[in-house]
Amino acid sequence: MNPSDHPISGATSLVGVCGRGISYTLSPAMHNAAFQACGLDYVYVKFEVPTGSAEAAVQGIRALGLVGVNVTKPLKTEFLPFLDDLSDEARRIGSVNTIISHDSKLRGESTDGQGLLKALSKIDVEPAERHVLILGAGGAARAACAMCKAYGARRITIAARNRVRAEETAAVGEAAVVSMSTQELEHAVRTADVIINAVPDDLEIDDTWFSSNQTVYDTRYDVTDTRLMIGARKQGAMVSNGIDMLLYQGAASFELWTGYEAPIDTMRTALQSGLNRR
């Protein structure tokens, strides 16, 4: 359902997603379908937040009385200093992907980790006793690192271009850090059991570094198959895009905002329909 299909009134509750360069997002389709299925007078829209406007955006959420928002790239860490409260998980990893408003107070949550865990379980993959390589050092990478640590990964490695951010991300899961140099990255890819990509752009990784005993989970969902997935599949690796992570983290956000159980099947259908149209 599109927002224009909803009979919006002065009583309609407004939620949305805040990010930068998010024209591709399928979150509005997913959430508006869920609101319709549950008979809720809510509407979900997209908010592009210009560079340097994180504080103003947070104050806008508060001042305009939004029920809450999702937060995506690159704002998951930028919004943190301007919130009134954080969940234990969000505070621990230093990242939020969901904000809930109550009595003009804004609380930050992170549902990325539980969304990723459920998505991996759908393809029968668990972090326990695995060497997990996480590509990237943003908010999603932090959530992935913390989740893998909590669920018993044998070893976690963070590979990122920015060393400082990589070390900050690694700290939430006692992970090792490698650079994106060819030598270090090749070794990290070849020795990993599970590779989680949390870089929002295509990565140039040699297809031959992958193998058939690996799982490659790309958190991107803006295309059906990313370049990383295509390369890994050629070598026999099991691959998946981020559509299920989006689904499950979105379902958790929906329940935080509304108090209703998320209609998972409806949300999945809306996401798949949107992805198929690309």
Average pLDDT, the chain: 94
Number of independent structural domains in the chain: 2
My answer on whether 231 and 253 are in the same domain is no
Q: How confident is the model over 109-118, as a mean pLDDT?
A: 96
Question: How high is the pLDDT of residue 138?
Answer: 93
* Alpha carbon distances (Å) from 245 to 9, 122, 140, 150, 218: 32, 10, 10, 18, 10
My answer on whether 117 and 236 are in the same domain is yes
pLDDT in tens, 183-225: 999 999 999 999 999 998 888 899 999 999 999 999 998 778 8
My answer on whether 121 and 104 are in the same domain is no
Active site residues: 76
Separation CA 91–CA 102 (nearest Å): 19
246 band by pLDDT with thresholds 50, 70 and 90:
very high
3 band by pLDDT with thresholds 50, 70 and 90:
very low
My answer on whether 117 and 213 are in the same domain is yes
Query: In the structure encoding, which two tokens stand for residue 210, read together?
Result: 């992958």
My answer on whether 139 and 213 are in the same domain is yes
pLDDT in tens, 16-72: 999 999 988 999 999 999 999 999 999 999 999 999 999 999 999 999 999 999 999
My answer on whether 221 and 253 are in the same domain is no
* Alpha carbon distances (Å) from 126 to 94, 158, 179, 249, 253: 24, 18, 25, 17, 23
My answer on whether 96 and 29 are in the same domain is yes
The range of the structural domain enclosing residue 260 comes to 3-110+244-276
My answer on whether 137 and 231 are in the same domain is yes
My answer on whether 237 and 248 are in the same domain is no
Whether the pLDDT of residue 160 is over 90: the answer is yes
**pLDDT higher for 275 or 110?**
110
8 band by pLDDT with thresholds 50, 70 and 90:
confident
Question: How high is the pLDDT of residue 86?
Answer: 97
5 band by pLDDT with thresholds 50, 70 and 90:
low
My answer on whether 67 and 32 are in the same domain is yes
Whether the pLDDT of residue 119 is over 50: the answer is yes
My answer on whether 146 and 194 are in the same domain is yes
My answer on whether 180 and 93 are in the same domain is no
Residues 6+ apart with CB under 8 A from 33: 1, 266, 267, 269, 270
Residues 6+ apart with CB under 8 A from 182: none
Read off the pTM: 0.92
* E strand residue ranges, 5-67: 13-19, 42-48
Q: What is the CA radius of gyration of the chain?
A: 18
**pLDDT higher for 278 or 107?**
107
CATH number at residue 210: 3.40.50.720
CATH number at residue 271: 3.40.50.10860
